[in-house]
Structure 1
Amino acid sequence: MATGGVERLRRRADYLRVQAADRRAALPGLLLQAAPGEDDMRRVGFTASRKVGNAVTRNRARRRLKALAGEVLPQHAAPGYDYVLVARQATPARDFAALRRDLENALKKLKLWHRQDGGAA
């Protein structure tokens, strides 16, 4: 199933591979992890630990990250990478515009930001 034109990571092994790549950017609203993918696709996964809150809060955080990824990643994330968005304690309550800036800044920090026209910024 795709999230806004981006494929989803489904297997635990993919999540562990992205985590092991040790390429991450932590911002107040989220943690972005990235690793080169197996093909020229963009794939994304989402996670929220118990530190974020109870089940209702974690699900809200994941839903917000999914909506965010659907808006930003298809247009601005470098192809050929797998991404994992990790919720932080601030994710469920953080203003959505601030979350969007966090994701954009994380992509820029990792040098994986691409303009909509396909060029690197």
Structure 2
Amino acid sequence: MHPSLSVIRKRSDFVAANGGLRNAKPEFVLLTRPNEGKGKRYGITVTKKIGNAVVRNRMKRRFRELLWAALPEAGLPDHDHILIGREGGVERDFASLEGELHVALARAASGEGDRARRPRHQRSRRA
């Protein structure tokens, strides 16, 4: 692990990052958000919709290596960086994942992001 990076472990930090910039790629979604001077931090999440535990852990290991390689130079200073795994992230070769991450980080650095997710539809209330 790189000494200038720290890991996000608290759920509240993951939830807060959801309000930041969002850059969606076929393999992952990168969320970036300023963190009030806490340095470069990263977090990885892969939902249970994606494969079994072996597949999810493999994806997390690959994402961790990607972030360790990219964030020291390309990461945003004093920002949280969250990678959310998507279905295609396991099969992609490492070089293309690396390229996609650099594109997403460059877009985040320039303040560009994808449109926010549509809110999940609410249940109708019956009176």
The TM tier, using the shorter chain, reads 0.7 to 0.9
Look up the equivalent residue of 2:13 and give its one-letter code: D
Distance 1:112 1:18 in 2: 17
TM-score w.r.t. the length of structure 2 is: 0.81
Could you tell me whether the CA contact under 8 Å between 1:44 and 1:83 is conserved in 2?
yes
- What SS does the aligned partner of 1:110 have? helix
Per-residue Cα deviation, 1:46-70 (whole angstroms, up to 9, x for no partner): 0001222111101110000000000
Per-residue Cα deviation, 1:55-114 (whole angstroms, up to 9, x for no partner): 11011100000000000001111111001011111111110000001100101122269x
2:94 maps to which residue?
Answer: 96
Report runs of 4+ in structure 1 exceeding 6 Å deviation.
none
For residues 69-84 of structure 1, the aligned pairs below 5 Å read 69-84=67-82
1:12 maps to which residue?
Answer: 11
TM-score w.r.t. the length of structure 1 is: 0.85
Could you tell me whether the CA contact under 8 Å between 1:77 and 1:112 is conserved in 2?
no
For residues 1-121 of structure 1, the aligned pairs below 5 Å read 3-5=1-3, 6-21=5-20, 23-111=21-109
Identity %: 34
Distance 1:8 1:50 in 2: 21
Could you tell me whether the CA contact under 8 Å between 2:25 and 2:100 is conserved in 1?
yes
Q: Between Structure 1 and Structure 2, how many residues are aligned? A: 110
Per-residue Cα deviation, 1:16-42 (whole angstroms, up to 9, x for no partner): 000123x11011221100110121500
The structure with more radius of gyration = 2
Distance 1:8 1:71 in 2: 14
Root mean square deviation of aligned Cα: 1.5
